[in-house]
């Protein structure tokens, strides 16, 4: 997806990008490729693929949720190279972004990226999601919590729902539809105070690859014992 097609396709969806926003995406791409030679940020470095499979893919979250109203807070767990939160921040400057990642090298890249793009209202933390979710400063503080990780939904729920406000939403971005995974995660959602609301299917342009945004609404506070110690959610999922 060439940058001009990226811009036009989003405009067709009602998202108009300014010249400044297009410049920010261009800078993002260049910095991503430059830093990817030093640390492993992504296997995708081709310009057209980055615009489609990273930038556009991240913005699909806005096809499911209204991110333009008010000063909503969004926490991105295990953001890696800043997906989906930094593309969303470029498009919706009103969003207050918090990124937590366990690898300090990635946080250093994101720190430079945020400065280079001139983004305000982005906070970066080098931490494990399990310990971050037990920190009273961040626990149940975010309107939206998102993860674009490959972990199963039962694991992601334990990492993300403790950070989600009551009446807020955990939004999981998945590359494949899985009724089995949804059923498997019902126990975890219930224990952690969440309730499955909907699954939004999105097709990427050009390739027609399918993406699925799973919305879990936080209906009550998460018990204090969750998330458990680092590593435990993955080793012993709540299933």
Structural element, H or E, at residue 153: helix 153-160
Closest among 113, 1, 92 to 49, alpha carbons compared = 1
Q: Are 1 and 51 in contact (CB under 8 A)?
A: yes
Backbone angles phi, psi at 66, to 5 degrees: -85, 105
b/e code 146-158 from CB counts within 10 Å (16+ = b): bbbbebbbbbbbb
CA distance 73 to 71: 7
Residues contributing to the annotated binding site = 78, 83, 129-130, 148
Residues contributing to the annotated binding site for S-adenosyl-L-methionine = 78, 83, 129-130, 148
SS3 73: strand
């Amino acid at each position: 997806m060439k940058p001009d097609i990226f811009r036009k396709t989003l405009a067709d969806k009602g998202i108009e990008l300014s010249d400044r926003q297009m410049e920010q995406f261009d800078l993002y791409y260049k910095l991503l490729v430059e830093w990817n030679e030093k640390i492993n940020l992504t296997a995708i470095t081709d310009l057209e693929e980055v615009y489609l499979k990273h930038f556009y893919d991240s913005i699909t979250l806005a096809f499911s949720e209204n991110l333009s109203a008010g000063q909503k807070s969004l926490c991105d767990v295990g953001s890696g190279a800043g997906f989906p939160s930094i593309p969303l921040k470029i498009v919706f400057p009103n969003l207050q972004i918090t990124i937590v990642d366990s690898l300090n090298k990635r946080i250093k890249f994101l720190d430079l990226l945020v400065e280079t793009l001139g983004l305000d209202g982005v906070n970066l933390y080098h931490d494990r999601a399990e310990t971050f979710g037990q920190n009273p400063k961040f626990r149940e503080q975010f309107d939206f919590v998102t993860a674009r990780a490959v972990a199963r939904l039962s694991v992601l729920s334990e990492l993300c729902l403790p950070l989600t406000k009551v009446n807020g939403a955990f939004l999981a971005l998945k590359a494949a539809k899985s009724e089995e995974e949804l059923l498997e995660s019902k126990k975890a959602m219930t224990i952690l105070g969440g309730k499955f609301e909907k699954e939004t299917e999105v097709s990427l342009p050009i390739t027609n690859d399918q993406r699925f945004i799973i919305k879990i609404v936080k209906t009550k506070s998460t018990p204090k014992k969750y998330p458990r110690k680092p590593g435990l959610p993955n080793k012993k999922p709540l299933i």
